[in-house]
Homo-oligomer: A and B are copies of this chain.
Amino acid sequence: MSDSVQRSTSIAARAARISRKLGGLSHAQRCEYLRRFSELLRQEAQTIIAENKEDCRAAEDIPAALRSRLAISLQKLDKIIEYPLSILQLDDPLNMLQVNTMLDDGLVLERRSVPLGVVLFIFESRPDAFIQMVSLAMKTGNVLLLKPGRESLRTCKVFFELLTKVTKELDMPSDWCFLLEERAEVHELLRCDDHIDLVIPRGSNEFVRDIMKHSNIPVLGHADGNCHIYIDTDADMELTKRIVVDAKTQYVAVCNAVESLLIHKDRKNDIPALIDVLSSKGVTVRGDIGSQKVDARVIPAEEEDWGMEYLDLVVSLRVVESLDEALECIHRYGSKHTDVIITENKKNADMFLRQVDTANAFVNCSSRFSDGYVYGLGAESGVATGKIHARGPVGLEGLCTYKWILRGQGHIIGDYAGTGSFKHKNLLS
């Protein structure tokens, strides 16, 4: 075993051991931790801002969009300080009695929510993701292995010092949260599926795809955010313009921005008005032949355009024959993140909602609403586009699993093998 493999295995094994203790903390203890952490963040606001400025200075050569995610203003810090507080106010996600069945006299089954165990969180540039994830992990009793991007390391180190201080003050299991600094370590940790239960990556598509490829551990998240808006025959055009402009331009660098517009052929003549508002916001439209014929401003789209996550002031546009064809396009080119129908027709809306295979299916509103905070989950560890475990914005629930608990009084299966049967009395209702 090489040194780095040995070190990673030992970090992971240790994390698994600590996790078995962390799950025993009461909700009051976990909340007190979050309260105190938020308090220290406020006290040390100046240090945080100063170190973040250093990070930003050193990162002058990274793209502007990433730099803006890296920077923490006083206003942004105010929001960050609120994360632990908003999460501590939520109900305890642990020890929830999900199933309670009397199988027979004296033989009672329970299913209770428990922490997953050890979560590896790997993120790029956004230091506020650190605070969100620490808050979610402490609330759910999970041990956290954190790997920030190099560019936010100074900021994250301040956060980590404050967190270590709280851990000591409150006599919590030390190293319940572990800061990783070496990329090579992460690579090895991705193979420690014996000890690590979940990997959550946040960053660029390539970054997430690379982690998904190299991990033996289940990965929760999304690589692409290729969101569609379908403009139905019965769409209100004023409402359409308002939604499309918001979904495309309010923040272009995010995963829930719209990347592709599908418009019913009966509404082809509304394309120029739509392009008017988009152009006025600086958006370029790349479209199919149908849309090119209606408006000369449409740039011919290549095949790659249909699956493209532009993250920029560009959108693709296609004229479709029917709602069915729209669904076909979404299933072929979309990424199962967020997909929207605009229509005044309830039947079409319902058909769309039922048939579209996506994490977030919307009617008559902007794709930009798919977000854990917006949904009232307190915060999110990310948006998952897979269908296993958790889907869409992932809050506390995605960091929990459950355990089946059966209490008997010497019960054996032999007594039920012949004619004996179970009572299955639901004790919950």
Interface residues of A (CB under 8 A from B): 16, 19-21, 23-24, 99, 101, 103, 107, 109, 111, 116-117, 197-198, 218, 236, 238-239, 242-243, 245-247, 250-251, 327, 331, 349, 353-355, 357-366, 368-370, 374-376, 386-389, 391-393, 401-414, 416-417, 422, 424
Contact = CB atoms under 8 A, between A and B. Distances in A.
27 contacts: A20-B331, A21-B355, A24-B354, A24-B355, A103-B376, A107-B365, A107-B369, A109-B375, A197-B387, A198-B388, A218-B218, A218-B388, A239-B409, A246-B412, A250-B414, A359-B404, A363-B408, A365-B407, A365-B408, A366-B411, A366-B413, A368-B413, A370-B404, A375-B404, A391-B401, A391-B404, A392-B403
Nearest to A342: B410
Contact of A389 (B23, B327, B388): B388
A246 B408 contact: no
Contacts of A368: 412-413
A236 B391 contact: no
B402 A391 contact: yes
A413 B245 CA distance: 11
Contacts of A21: 355
A220 to B, nearest CB: 8
Contacts of A365: 107, 406-412
A363 B197 contact: no
Contact of A404 (B198, B349, B360, B413): B360
Contact of A361 (B23, B405, B424): B405
Given A101-B376, A388-B389, 5 more contacts: A198-B388, A247-B412, A353-B405, A368-B412, A392-B404
B401 A369 contact: no
A236 B409 CA distance: 10
A376 B387 CA distance: 25
Contacts of A355: 20-21, 23-24
Contacts of A404: 359-361, 370, 375, 391-393
A374 B103 contact: yes
A190 to B, nearest CB: 15
A417 B371 CA distance: 13
Which of A238, A247, A386, A393 has the most chain B CB atoms closer than 10 A to its own CB?
A386
Nearest to A353: B405
